[in-house]
């Protein structure tokens, strides 16, 4: 198993010698390696069992450093960076050749983010290279929001996990770029689209893989538990699965079901708060997935605030468009 702790010096030494380290961010934990080292980047793909056509996000701690590896910073994206960095926003920017092809899967843009978690920012400030980091989960599974999630799945393959507690936002970053002049969201995430529109005006959302060659990693079935995951009206689903005699668990937005064992249900927010639900989502999906049940029943949230991004993840878990 990996060592787990808060030793930034150890994390730095390992990264400088080409090793991978799991890092906490406010969105989810990342599996980090030196973004300028093709060998370290190759190790990331191998450890995650991630197909090489799915490019990585490059993390750094200042806009000056971003300028070292992007050719230009188009104005509307710069405005978003100024307002929302550090934070749960990833920008697709024209890349310089200093970024290895493997990081971008040969695309002419590079995905860049300045995360806000203080431990990871301190680490980035000490390094003289940026960190490539996908979410620290095996490809296709639910992203980790706690150090223990990383350890459970990747602990045997990495030397160190920097422990920054539970991720505050709990959903991956919102990915934004340009289609021509049009600001475009390629992945719904921890930064609400309305907040983006408040700065740059109306944006288009192209967050599904089938219509979205530009974000190759956005496969329909993703963020998925190993158990079948069914979405619908929970009262009806519970009735239906009881009749079928199947053992199920329930993931609800804000309800508790008195006729079900407490052990078999998780409510994402007692106060019907979509932000709190986002923070709890992935840990709840993992917990239910580890129970001895044959199916997980769930429901969609209201499409407001982070509800829209949570619903995107729930639909991907259920593998429906
Ligand atoms: O919140 C996050 O974004 C986390 C933390 C660790 O920063 N990272 C994360 O990385 O979610 P990952 O690799 O699981 O998802 C990155 C997504 C993929 O869907 C990938 O296809 C897309 O970003 N992506 C990366 N580079 C791209 C590019 N140049 N053009 C289009 N999509 C890109
Ligand atoms: Mg991921």
Which residues, at least 6 apart from 201, have a Cβ–Cβ distance to it below 8 Å? 183
Q: Cβ(107) to ligand 1 under 6 A?
A: yes
- Note the pLDDT of residue 283: 98
The values of phi and psi at residue 287, to 5°, are -60, -45
Mean pLDDT of the chain: 94
Grade residue 103 by pLDDT with cuts at 50, 70 and 90: very high
pLDDT tens-digit profile of 191-216?
Answer: 999 999 999 999 999 976 544 445 55
Question: Which ligand is in closest contact with the Cα of 190?
Answer: 1
**In sequence order, what are the residues at sequence separation of 6 or more whose Cβ sits closer than 8 angstroms to the Cβ of residue 259?**
238
Residue the block writes with tokens 């699965």: 241
144, pLDDT greater than 80: yes
Q: Is the ipTM of this complex over 0.95?
A: yes
User: Could you give the percent of the chain with pLDDT greater than 70?
Assistant: 95
Q: What is the reported pLDDT for 213?
A: 45
Ligand 1, atom 3: closest residue by C-alpha: 173
Say yes or no: CB of residue 217 within 6 Å of ligand 1: yes
Burial class (CB in 10 A: 0-12, 13-18, 19+), 257: middle
**Residue 105, SS3 per DSSP:** coil
Q: Is the CB of 101 under 6 A from ligand 1?
A: no
Residue 204 Cα, ligand 2 centroid: separation in angstroms?
Answer: 22
Residue 111 has pLDDT above 90, yes or no: yes
Going from the Cα of 121 to the center of ligand 1, the distance in angstroms, rounded, reads: 19
pLDDT of res. 211: 40
In the prediction, which pLDDT does 218 show?
A: 54
For the CA atoms of 278, 216, 104, 19, what is the dihedral angle to 10 degrees? 60
Residue 217 has pLDDT above 60, yes or no: no
Tens of pLDDT, residue by residue over 162-185, are 999 999 999 999 999 999 999 999
214 close to ligand 1 (CB < 6 Angstrom): yes
Q: What is the pLDDT of residue 212?
A: 46
147 C-alpha vs ligand 2 centroid, how far in Å? 16
> Rounded to whole angstroms, what are the CA distances from 69 to 96, 104, 123, 211, 244?
5, 12, 19, 29, 57
The pair of structure tokens assigned to 108 is: 């002419």
- Give the tens place of pLDDT for each residue, 153-165: 999 999 999 999 9
Query: 320: pLDDT confidence band, cut at 50, 70 and 90?
Result: low
Q: Which atom of ligand 1 has the smallest separation from the CA of 57? A: 25
Contact 98, 34 (CB under 8 A): no
Q: Does residue 321 have a pLDDT over 60?
A: no
pLDDT over threshold 70, residue 220: no
Read off φ and ψ for residue 162, nearest 5 degrees: -80, 120
- Ligand 1 center from residue 92 Cα (angstroms): 10
Instruction: State how far the Cα of 230 lies from the Cα of 298, in Å rounded to an integer.
Output: 6
Task: Give the residue-averaged pLDDT of 23-48.
Answer: 98
pTM, 2 dp: 0.95
Domains of the chain: 3-211 (3.90.870.10), 229-317 (3.40.50.11030)
pLDDT exceeds cutoff 60 at 288: yes
- Per residue in 230-276, pLDDT (tens digit) is 999 999 999 999 999 999 999 999 999 999 999 999 999 999 999 99
Q: Residue 56: CB within 6 Å of ligand 1?
A: yes
DSSP for 171-240, please give it.
Answer: SPPEEEEEETTEEEEEE--SS-HHHHHHHH---EE---GGG-TTSTT--SS-S--SS-EEES-HHHHHHH
Burial class (CB in 10 A: 0-12, 13-18, 19+), 7: middle
Query: Which residues sit in the known binding site?
Result: 27, 50, 59, 109, 113, 133, 135, 143, 173, 187, 223
Residue 157, CA distances (Å) to 22, 43, 91, 224 in order: 11, 10, 29, 21
Taking Cα atoms as reference points, which of 84, 108, 99, 90 lies closest to residue 38? Answer: 99
CA distance readout (Å), 23 to 29, 42, 110, 112, 115? 6, 18, 20, 16, 11
The yes-or-no verdict on residue 297 having pLDDT over 70 is yes
* Separation of alpha carbons 293 and 298, rounded Å: 14
């Amino acid at each position: 198993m990996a060592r787990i702790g808060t030793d930034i010096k150890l994390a730095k030494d390992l990264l400088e010698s080409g090793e991978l380290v799991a890092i906490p961010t406010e969105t989810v934990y990342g599996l980090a390696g030196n973004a300028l080292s093709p060998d370290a980047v190759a190790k990331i793909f191998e450890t995650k069992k991630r197909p090489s056509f799915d490019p990585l996000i490059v993390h750094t701690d200042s806009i000056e450093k971003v300028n070292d590896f992007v050719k230009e910073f188009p104005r509307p994206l710069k405005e978003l960076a100024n307002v929302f960095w550090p934070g749960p926003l990833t920008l697709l920017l024209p890349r310089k050749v200093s970024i290895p092809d493997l990081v971008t899967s040969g695309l002419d843009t590079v995905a860049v983010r300045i995360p806000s978690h203080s431990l990871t920012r301190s680490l980035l400030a000490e390094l003289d290279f940026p960190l490539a980091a996908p979410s620290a989960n095996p490809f296709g599974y639910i992203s980790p929001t706690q150090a223990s999630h990383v350890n459970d799945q990747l602990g045997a393959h990495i030397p160190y996990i920097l422990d920054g507690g539970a991720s505050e936002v709990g959903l991956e970053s919102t990915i934004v770029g340009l289609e021509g002049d049009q600001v475009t969201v390629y992945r719904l995430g921890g930064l609400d689209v309305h907040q983006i529109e408040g700065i740059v005006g109306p944006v288009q959302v192209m967050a599904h893989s089938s219509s979205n060659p530009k974000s190759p990693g956005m496969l329909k079935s993703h963020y998925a538990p190993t158990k079948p995951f069914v979405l619908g009206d929970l009262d009806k689903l519970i009735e239906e699965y009881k009749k079928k005699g199947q053992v199920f668990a329930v993931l609800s937005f804000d309800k508790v079901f008195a006729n079900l064992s407490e052990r078999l249900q998780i409510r994402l927010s007692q106060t019907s708060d979509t932000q709190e639900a986002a923070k709890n989502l992935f840990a709840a999906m993992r917990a239910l997935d580890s129970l001895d049940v044959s199916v997980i029943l769930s429901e969609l949230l209201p499409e407001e605030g982070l509800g829209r991004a949570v619903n995107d993840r729930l639909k991907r878990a259920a593998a429906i468009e």
